[in-house]
Structure 1
Amino acid sequence: MVEGPGRRERKKQLTRQALVDAAVRLFTERGYERTTVADIAEAADVSTRTFFLHFPTKEDVLLADADGRVDSGVAAVAGAASPAAALAAAAEAMISDAWRGDLRAGPAGLRARLVVDNPAVQARLLQVGFAAQTRLADALREAHPDLVDDVDAAALVGALLGAVATTAVAALRRGDPPDAVRDAMRRAAELALRAAG
Protein backbone atom coordinates (compact mmCIF):
# COMPACT_ATOMS: atom_id res chain seq x y z
CA MET A 1 0.00 0.00 0.00
CA VAL A 2 1.36 3.40 -1.00
CA GLU A 3 1.05 6.04 1.67
CA GLY A 4 0.14 9.62 0.85
CA PRO A 5 2.06 12.62 2.08
CA GLY A 6 2.56 12.94 5.82
CA ARG A 7 0.82 15.48 8.02
CA ARG A 8 3.62 18.04 7.71
CA GLU A 9 3.66 17.80 3.91
CA ARG A 10 -0.15 18.05 3.75
CA LYS A 11 -0.05 21.16 5.93
CA LYS A 12 2.63 22.66 3.68
CA GLN A 13 0.53 21.94 0.57
CA LEU A 14 -2.57 23.46 2.19
CA THR A 15 -0.66 26.61 3.14
CA ARG A 16 0.77 26.91 -0.34
CA GLN A 17 -2.69 26.51 -1.88
CA ALA A 18 -4.15 29.07 0.55
CA LEU A 19 -1.49 31.56 -0.58
CA VAL A 20 -2.25 30.91 -4.26
CA ASP A 21 -6.01 31.25 -3.68
CA ALA A 22 -5.58 34.47 -1.69
CA ALA A 23 -3.26 35.93 -4.32
CA VAL A 24 -5.61 35.15 -7.19
CA ARG A 25 -8.54 36.66 -5.31
CA LEU A 26 -6.63 39.81 -4.34
CA PHE A 27 -5.02 40.28 -7.75
CA THR A 28 -8.48 40.00 -9.30
CA GLU A 29 -10.16 42.34 -6.80
CA ARG A 30 -7.43 44.97 -6.30
CA GLY A 31 -5.13 44.49 -9.24
CA TYR A 32 -1.71 42.94 -9.35
CA GLU A 33 0.30 46.11 -8.71
CA ARG A 34 -1.79 47.20 -5.72
CA THR A 35 -1.54 43.84 -3.95
CA THR A 36 1.48 43.33 -1.70
CA VAL A 37 3.03 40.17 -0.35
CA ALA A 38 1.86 41.27 3.11
CA ASP A 39 -1.72 41.51 1.79
CA ILE A 40 -1.53 37.99 0.39
CA ALA A 41 -0.05 36.58 3.61
CA GLU A 42 -2.71 38.28 5.72
CA ALA A 43 -5.53 37.01 3.49
CA ALA A 44 -4.11 33.47 3.79
CA ASP A 45 -3.76 33.91 7.58
CA VAL A 46 0.00 33.37 7.60
CA SER A 47 3.02 35.58 8.20
CA THR A 48 4.96 37.32 5.45
CA ARG A 49 7.88 35.12 6.44
CA THR A 50 5.74 32.05 5.73
CA PHE A 51 4.89 33.47 2.31
CA PHE A 52 8.59 33.70 1.50
CA LEU A 53 9.16 30.13 2.67
CA HIS A 54 6.81 29.05 -0.13
CA PHE A 55 7.43 31.66 -2.85
CA PRO A 56 10.56 33.76 -3.47
CA THR A 57 8.59 36.59 -5.14
CA LYS A 58 5.03 37.80 -5.64
CA GLU A 59 5.24 36.68 -9.27
CA ASP A 60 6.04 33.11 -8.22
CA VAL A 61 2.54 32.68 -6.79
CA LEU A 62 1.32 32.74 -10.39
CA LEU A 63 3.89 30.11 -11.33
CA ALA A 64 3.19 27.72 -8.45
CA ASP A 65 2.59 24.84 -10.85
CA ALA A 66 5.64 25.44 -13.05
CA ASP A 67 7.86 22.77 -11.45
CA GLY A 68 5.22 20.08 -11.95
CA ARG A 69 4.83 21.06 -15.58
CA VAL A 70 8.59 20.83 -16.17
CA ASP A 71 8.65 17.49 -14.32
CA SER A 72 6.05 16.16 -16.78
CA GLY A 73 8.18 17.36 -19.71
CA VAL A 74 11.33 15.77 -18.28
CA ALA A 75 9.47 12.47 -17.71
CA ALA A 76 8.24 12.53 -21.32
CA VAL A 77 11.79 13.08 -22.60
CA ALA A 78 13.14 10.18 -20.59
CA GLY A 79 10.63 7.73 -22.02
CA ALA A 80 10.93 8.57 -25.73
CA ALA A 81 12.72 6.53 -28.39
CA SER A 82 14.39 9.42 -30.25
CA PRO A 83 15.25 13.08 -29.68
CA ALA A 84 12.41 14.20 -31.99
CA ALA A 85 9.91 11.94 -30.22
CA ALA A 86 11.22 13.14 -26.86
CA LEU A 87 10.71 16.79 -27.76
CA ALA A 88 7.24 16.16 -29.21
CA ALA A 89 6.19 14.25 -26.09
CA ALA A 90 7.61 16.92 -23.78
CA ALA A 91 5.85 19.70 -25.67
CA GLU A 92 2.51 17.91 -25.55
CA ALA A 93 2.85 17.09 -21.85
CA MET A 94 3.75 20.66 -20.94
CA ILE A 95 1.12 22.32 -23.17
CA SER A 96 -1.61 20.06 -21.83
CA ASP A 97 -0.53 20.76 -18.27
CA ALA A 98 -0.09 24.52 -18.73
CA TRP A 99 -3.59 25.25 -19.93
CA ARG A 100 -5.74 22.73 -18.13
CA GLY A 101 -9.28 23.92 -17.66
CA ASP A 102 -10.47 27.44 -18.34
CA LEU A 103 -7.78 29.94 -19.27
CA ARG A 104 -10.05 32.70 -18.05
CA ALA A 105 -10.21 31.51 -14.43
CA GLY A 106 -7.88 30.86 -11.50
CA PRO A 107 -4.08 31.12 -11.60
CA ALA A 108 -3.87 30.09 -15.27
CA GLY A 109 -6.30 32.78 -16.36
CA LEU A 110 -4.66 35.45 -14.26
CA ARG A 111 -1.18 34.42 -15.43
CA ALA A 112 -2.39 34.56 -19.03
CA ARG A 113 -3.70 38.11 -18.60
CA LEU A 114 -0.70 39.40 -16.66
CA VAL A 115 1.96 37.87 -18.90
CA VAL A 116 0.63 39.97 -21.75
CA ASP A 117 0.81 43.30 -19.88
CA ASN A 118 2.97 43.11 -16.77
CA PRO A 119 6.77 43.46 -17.13
CA ALA A 120 7.51 41.95 -13.69
CA VAL A 121 5.49 38.83 -14.49
CA GLN A 122 7.05 38.63 -17.96
CA ALA A 123 10.55 38.87 -16.48
CA ARG A 124 9.91 36.17 -13.89
CA LEU A 125 8.32 33.94 -16.50
CA LEU A 126 11.46 34.30 -18.64
CA GLN A 127 13.65 33.28 -15.68
CA VAL A 128 11.47 30.27 -14.92
CA GLY A 129 11.38 29.40 -18.62
CA PHE A 130 15.16 29.51 -18.90
CA ALA A 131 15.50 27.14 -15.92
CA ALA A 132 12.96 24.83 -17.55
CA GLN A 133 14.91 24.87 -20.83
CA THR A 134 18.09 23.93 -19.00
CA ARG A 135 16.39 21.02 -17.22
CA LEU A 136 14.82 19.73 -20.43
CA ALA A 137 18.04 20.08 -22.41
CA ASP A 138 19.91 18.13 -19.72
CA ALA A 139 17.22 15.43 -19.81
CA LEU A 140 17.37 15.24 -23.62
CA ARG A 141 21.16 14.91 -23.63
CA GLU A 142 21.06 12.25 -20.90
CA ALA A 143 18.33 10.28 -22.68
CA HIS A 144 20.12 10.36 -26.05
CA PRO A 145 23.85 10.94 -25.43
CA ASP A 146 24.89 9.35 -28.73
CA LEU A 147 22.60 11.60 -30.77
CA VAL A 148 22.78 15.04 -29.13
CA ASP A 149 25.47 16.89 -27.23
CA ASP A 150 25.03 19.82 -24.80
CA VAL A 151 24.87 22.45 -27.54
CA ASP A 152 22.48 20.49 -29.77
CA ALA A 153 20.17 19.73 -26.83
CA ALA A 154 20.13 23.38 -25.76
CA ALA A 155 19.41 24.57 -29.30
CA LEU A 156 16.61 22.06 -29.88
CA VAL A 157 14.89 22.69 -26.55
CA GLY A 158 15.36 26.46 -26.80
CA ALA A 159 13.84 26.57 -30.28
CA LEU A 160 10.89 24.45 -29.21
CA LEU A 161 10.05 26.20 -25.95
CA GLY A 162 10.76 29.64 -27.38
CA ALA A 163 8.37 29.01 -30.26
CA VAL A 164 5.65 27.71 -27.96
CA ALA A 165 5.98 30.54 -25.41
CA THR A 166 6.05 33.42 -27.88
CA THR A 167 3.13 31.92 -29.79
CA ALA A 168 1.10 31.64 -26.59
CA VAL A 169 1.70 35.32 -25.82
CA ALA A 170 0.76 36.33 -29.38
CA ALA A 171 -2.46 34.31 -29.20
CA LEU A 172 -3.30 35.77 -25.79
CA ARG A 173 -2.66 39.32 -27.00
CA ARG A 174 -4.97 38.64 -29.92
CA GLY A 175 -7.65 37.59 -27.42
CA ASP A 176 -7.91 33.99 -28.57
CA PRO A 177 -10.06 31.65 -26.47
CA PRO A 178 -8.33 28.85 -24.48
CA ASP A 179 -8.71 26.14 -27.12
CA ALA A 180 -7.27 28.42 -29.81
CA VAL A 181 -4.30 29.27 -27.57
CA ARG A 182 -3.61 25.56 -27.02
CA ASP A 183 -3.95 24.89 -30.76
CA ALA A 184 -1.55 27.74 -31.57
CA MET A 185 0.99 26.37 -29.08
CA ARG A 186 0.74 22.90 -30.60
CA ARG A 187 1.15 24.34 -34.10
CA ALA A 188 4.25 26.25 -32.94
CA ALA A 189 5.68 23.03 -31.47
CA GLU A 190 5.09 21.20 -34.77
CA LEU A 191 6.80 23.97 -36.75
CA ALA A 192 9.80 24.03 -34.41
CA LEU A 193 10.11 20.23 -34.50
CA ARG A 194 9.86 20.19 -38.30
CA ALA A 195 12.62 22.78 -38.51
CA ALA A 196 14.74 20.70 -36.14
CA GLY A 197 14.47 17.87 -38.62
Structure 2
Amino acid sequence: MSLRERKKLQTRQNVIAVAERLFEERGYDNVTVAEIADAADISVKTLFVYFRSKEDLAFADTSLIDDVASAIERRGDKSHAEALVESLLTRTDDTAGLEAFHRGYGQSAALESGLLRMWAAWEERLVAALAAEADGPATPRMRLHAIALVGIIRTTTSPELLDAVSGLTDSEAQRVAEDWLAEAAAHVEP
Protein backbone atom coordinates (compact mmCIF):
# COMPACT_ATOMS: atom_id res chain seq x y z
CA MET A 1 0.00 0.00 0.00
CA SER A 2 1.39 3.37 -0.98
CA LEU A 3 1.92 6.18 1.53
CA ARG A 4 -1.03 8.08 0.05
CA GLU A 5 -3.33 5.06 0.41
CA ARG A 6 -2.16 4.48 3.99
CA LYS A 7 -2.84 8.14 4.88
CA LYS A 8 -6.32 7.94 3.34
CA LEU A 9 -7.04 4.77 5.32
CA GLN A 10 -5.76 6.41 8.53
CA THR A 11 -7.95 9.46 7.94
CA ARG A 12 -11.00 7.28 7.30
CA GLN A 13 -10.38 5.22 10.45
CA ASN A 14 -9.81 8.36 12.51
CA VAL A 15 -13.06 9.93 11.31
CA ILE A 16 -14.96 6.72 12.16
CA ALA A 17 -13.40 6.57 15.63
CA VAL A 18 -14.13 10.24 16.32
CA ALA A 19 -17.74 9.92 15.10
CA GLU A 20 -18.33 6.80 17.22
CA ARG A 21 -16.92 8.51 20.30
CA LEU A 22 -19.08 11.60 19.79
CA PHE A 23 -22.22 9.57 19.03
CA GLU A 24 -21.69 7.45 22.14
CA GLU A 25 -21.01 10.48 24.33
CA ARG A 26 -23.86 12.71 23.14
CA GLY A 27 -26.15 10.66 20.91
CA TYR A 28 -26.31 10.54 17.12
CA ASP A 29 -28.97 13.22 16.87
CA ASN A 30 -26.95 15.66 19.00
CA VAL A 31 -23.76 15.59 16.90
CA THR A 32 -23.25 17.56 13.69
CA VAL A 33 -21.06 16.70 10.73
CA ALA A 34 -19.13 19.92 11.36
CA GLU A 35 -18.37 18.80 14.93
CA ILE A 36 -17.13 15.44 13.69
CA ALA A 37 -14.92 17.06 11.06
CA ASP A 38 -13.53 19.53 13.58
CA ALA A 39 -12.76 16.80 16.13
CA ALA A 40 -11.10 14.71 13.40
CA ASP A 41 -9.06 17.77 12.34
CA ILE A 42 -10.37 17.81 8.78
CA SER A 43 -12.75 20.02 6.83
CA VAL A 44 -16.39 19.13 6.27
CA LYS A 45 -15.62 18.93 2.55
CA THR A 46 -12.87 16.36 3.24
CA LEU A 47 -15.23 14.36 5.47
CA PHE A 48 -17.68 14.12 2.57
CA VAL A 49 -14.90 12.75 0.36
CA TYR A 50 -14.83 9.72 2.67
CA PHE A 51 -18.51 9.46 3.65
CA ARG A 52 -21.67 10.43 1.79
CA SER A 53 -23.63 11.27 4.92
CA LYS A 54 -23.63 11.29 8.70
CA GLU A 55 -25.65 8.06 8.59
CA ASP A 56 -22.86 6.40 6.58
CA LEU A 57 -20.53 7.27 9.45
CA ALA A 58 -22.87 5.57 11.92
CA PHE A 59 -22.61 2.28 10.02
CA ALA A 60 -19.05 2.46 8.70
CA ASP A 61 -17.45 0.15 11.26
CA THR A 62 -18.01 -3.45 10.14
CA SER A 63 -15.55 -5.05 12.56
CA LEU A 64 -18.25 -6.73 14.67
CA ILE A 65 -19.83 -8.67 11.79
CA ASP A 66 -16.36 -9.36 10.36
CA ASP A 67 -15.34 -10.93 13.69
CA VAL A 68 -18.58 -12.88 14.05
CA ALA A 69 -18.46 -14.27 10.49
CA SER A 70 -14.82 -15.24 10.96
CA ALA A 71 -15.60 -16.97 14.28
CA ILE A 72 -18.42 -18.93 12.66
CA GLU A 73 -16.18 -19.93 9.74
CA ARG A 74 -13.48 -21.29 12.07
CA ARG A 75 -15.75 -22.60 14.80
CA GLY A 76 -14.29 -26.10 15.07
CA ASP A 77 -16.52 -28.32 17.22
CA LYS A 78 -18.58 -25.44 18.62
CA SER A 79 -22.08 -24.70 17.41
CA HIS A 80 -22.58 -21.58 15.30
CA ALA A 81 -24.31 -19.86 18.23
CA GLU A 82 -21.51 -20.78 20.66
CA ALA A 83 -18.88 -19.43 18.27
CA LEU A 84 -20.89 -16.23 17.82
CA VAL A 85 -21.30 -15.73 21.58
CA GLU A 86 -17.62 -16.39 22.20
CA SER A 87 -16.76 -13.81 19.55
CA LEU A 88 -19.05 -11.25 21.18
CA LEU A 89 -17.63 -11.89 24.64
CA THR A 90 -14.02 -11.51 23.49
CA ARG A 91 -14.79 -8.05 22.09
CA THR A 92 -15.48 -6.48 25.47
CA ASP A 93 -14.73 -7.05 29.13
CA ASP A 94 -17.39 -4.69 30.46
CA THR A 95 -20.87 -3.55 29.55
CA ALA A 96 -20.07 0.13 29.04
CA GLY A 97 -20.37 -0.50 25.30
CA LEU A 98 -24.01 -1.50 25.71
CA GLU A 99 -24.89 1.78 27.38
CA ALA A 100 -22.81 3.70 24.82
CA PHE A 101 -24.64 1.94 21.96
CA HIS A 102 -28.03 2.89 23.38
CA ARG A 103 -26.95 6.47 23.99
CA GLY A 104 -25.29 6.80 20.58
CA TYR A 105 -27.53 4.87 18.23
CA GLY A 106 -30.39 3.06 19.90
CA GLN A 107 -32.48 6.11 20.69
CA SER A 108 -32.28 7.78 17.29
CA ALA A 109 -35.38 7.63 15.12
CA ALA A 110 -33.18 8.84 12.24
CA LEU A 111 -31.17 5.60 12.43
CA GLU A 112 -34.02 3.09 12.71
CA SER A 113 -34.13 2.20 9.01
CA GLY A 114 -30.33 2.13 8.84
CA LEU A 115 -30.21 -0.34 11.73
CA LEU A 116 -32.74 -2.56 9.96
CA ARG A 117 -30.66 -2.44 6.77
CA MET A 118 -27.56 -3.28 8.80
CA TRP A 119 -29.22 -6.30 10.43
CA ALA A 120 -30.37 -7.49 6.98
CA ALA A 121 -26.85 -7.10 5.56
CA TRP A 122 -25.44 -9.06 8.50
CA GLU A 123 -28.02 -11.79 7.85
CA GLU A 124 -26.84 -11.97 4.22
CA ARG A 125 -23.23 -12.22 5.39
CA LEU A 126 -24.04 -15.13 7.72
CA VAL A 127 -26.15 -16.92 5.09
CA ALA A 128 -23.14 -16.76 2.77
CA ALA A 129 -20.87 -18.13 5.52
CA LEU A 130 -23.29 -20.99 6.27
CA ALA A 131 -23.64 -21.84 2.56
CA ALA A 132 -19.86 -21.81 2.12
CA GLU A 133 -19.47 -24.08 5.13
CA ALA A 134 -22.00 -26.53 3.63
CA ASP A 135 -20.29 -26.26 0.24
CA GLY A 136 -23.55 -25.60 -1.51
CA PRO A 137 -26.31 -23.10 -2.16
CA ALA A 138 -28.16 -21.42 0.66
CA THR A 139 -31.26 -23.21 1.91
CA PRO A 140 -34.33 -22.03 3.83
CA ARG A 141 -32.85 -23.64 6.95
CA MET A 142 -29.65 -21.62 6.52
CA ARG A 143 -31.64 -18.41 6.08
CA LEU A 144 -33.64 -19.05 9.24
CA HIS A 145 -30.48 -20.00 11.13
CA ALA A 146 -28.76 -16.78 10.02
CA ILE A 147 -31.80 -14.79 11.15
CA ALA A 148 -31.61 -16.45 14.56
CA LEU A 149 -27.85 -15.83 14.83
CA VAL A 150 -28.30 -12.15 14.02
CA GLY A 151 -31.10 -12.20 16.58
CA ILE A 152 -28.57 -13.15 19.25
CA ILE A 153 -26.54 -10.06 18.36
CA ARG A 154 -29.66 -7.90 18.27
CA THR A 155 -30.64 -8.99 21.78
CA THR A 156 -27.43 -7.45 23.09
CA THR A 157 -28.75 -4.06 22.01
CA SER A 158 -32.19 -4.59 23.50
CA PRO A 159 -33.67 -2.35 26.16
CA GLU A 160 -34.31 -5.47 28.26
CA LEU A 161 -30.61 -6.25 28.58
CA LEU A 162 -29.83 -2.60 29.23
CA ASP A 163 -32.40 -2.62 32.06
CA ALA A 164 -30.96 -5.88 33.42
CA VAL A 165 -27.44 -4.44 33.75
CA SER A 166 -28.35 -0.90 34.84
CA GLY A 167 -26.95 -0.04 38.25
CA LEU A 168 -24.74 -3.12 38.47
CA THR A 169 -20.99 -3.13 38.90
CA ASP A 170 -18.99 -3.94 35.76
CA SER A 171 -18.31 -7.50 36.91
CA GLU A 172 -21.96 -8.10 37.85
CA ALA A 173 -23.15 -6.62 34.56
CA GLN A 174 -20.65 -8.77 32.65
CA ARG A 175 -22.03 -11.92 34.30
CA VAL A 176 -25.60 -10.88 33.47
CA ALA A 177 -24.59 -10.25 29.84
CA GLU A 178 -22.80 -13.61 29.64
CA ASP A 179 -25.84 -15.42 31.05
CA TRP A 180 -28.08 -13.50 28.65
CA LEU A 181 -25.98 -14.57 25.66
CA ALA A 182 -25.76 -18.18 26.85
CA GLU A 183 -29.55 -18.34 27.16
CA ALA A 184 -30.00 -16.78 23.72
CA ALA A 185 -27.56 -19.26 22.17
CA ALA A 186 -29.34 -22.17 23.87
CA HIS A 187 -32.63 -21.09 22.29
CA VAL A 188 -31.01 -20.91 18.85
CA GLU A 189 -29.18 -24.23 19.13
CA PRO A 190 -30.59 -26.29 21.99
Could you say whether these structures have the same fold, taking a TM-score greater than 0.5 normalized by the shorter chain as the test?
A: yes
Q: Which amino acid aligns with 2:54?
A: K
| Cα distance in 2, alignment partners of residues 9 and 183 from structure 1 | 43
Question: 1:191 offset after TM fit, Å?
Answer: 1.6
Preserved CA contact (<8 Å) 1:19 1:41: yes
Cα 1:47–1:175 change in 2 (3 A) is same
2:82 to 79, 88, 96: 88
One of 148, 159, 162 as aligned partner of 2:151: 162
Contact 2:128 2:138 in 1 (8 A): no
Relative distance call for 1:158 and 1:26 in structure 2 (3 A) is: closer
Is the contact made by 2:79 and 2:189 (CA closer than 8 Å) also made in structure 1? no
Q: 1:104 to 1:86 in 2, by over 3 A?
A: closer
Per-residue displacement from partner, 1:59-81 (whole Å, max 9, x unpaired)?
4434443x222222222333345
Following superposition, the deviation at residue 154 of structure 1 comes to 0.9
Residue-by-residue CA offset, 1:143-194 (whole Å, 9 max, x unaligned) = 1146x84321110010122144135412014444551234313321222112
Equivalent in the alignment of 1:10: 6
Which amino acid in the other structure matches residue 71 of structure 1? D
| Seq. identity, % | 31
Question: Looking at both structures, which has the greater relative contact order when contacts are Cα pairs under 8 Å and sequence separation is at least 6?
Answer: 2
Q: TM-score, structure 1 length as denominator?
A: 0.72
- In 2, distance between residues paired with 1:163 and 1:21? 25
Q: What is the CA distance between 1:13 and its match in structure 2?
A: 3.7
- Output the CA distance in 1 between the equivalents of 2:17 and 2:10: 10
Q: 1:14-33: CA deviations, max 9, x gaps? A: 32343234334544665532
Q: Deviations over 1:43-64 (max 9, x none)?
A: 2122334323444442443444
Q: Which residue of 2 aligns with 1:52?
A: 48
Q: Distance in 2 between matches of 1:29 and 1:75?
A: 30
Q: Contact between 1:92 and 1:186, CA under 8 Å: does it hold in 2? A: no
Aligned length: 183
CA contact (8 A) 1:86 1:140 kept: no
Summarize the Cα distance change of 1:25–1:149 in structure 2 as closer, same or farther, 3 Å threshold: closer
2:61 is the counterpart of 1:72: no
SS of alignment partner, residue 33 of structure 1: helix
- Structure 2: distance between partners of 1:63 and 1:101: 23
Separation in structure 2 between the aligned mates of residue 77 and residue 53 of structure 1, nearest angstrom: 34
Match of 2:96 in 1: 104
Which of 167-176 and 155-164 deviates more? 167-176
Relative to the length of structure 2, the TM-score reads: 0.74
- In the alignment, structure 2 segments of 5+ residues that lack a partner are none
**Contact 1:76–1:90, Cα closer than 8 Å, also in 2:** yes
Amino acid at match of 2:74: G
**2:114 corresponds to:** 124
Structure 2 CA distance for aligned equivalents of residues 102 and 58 of structure 1? 28
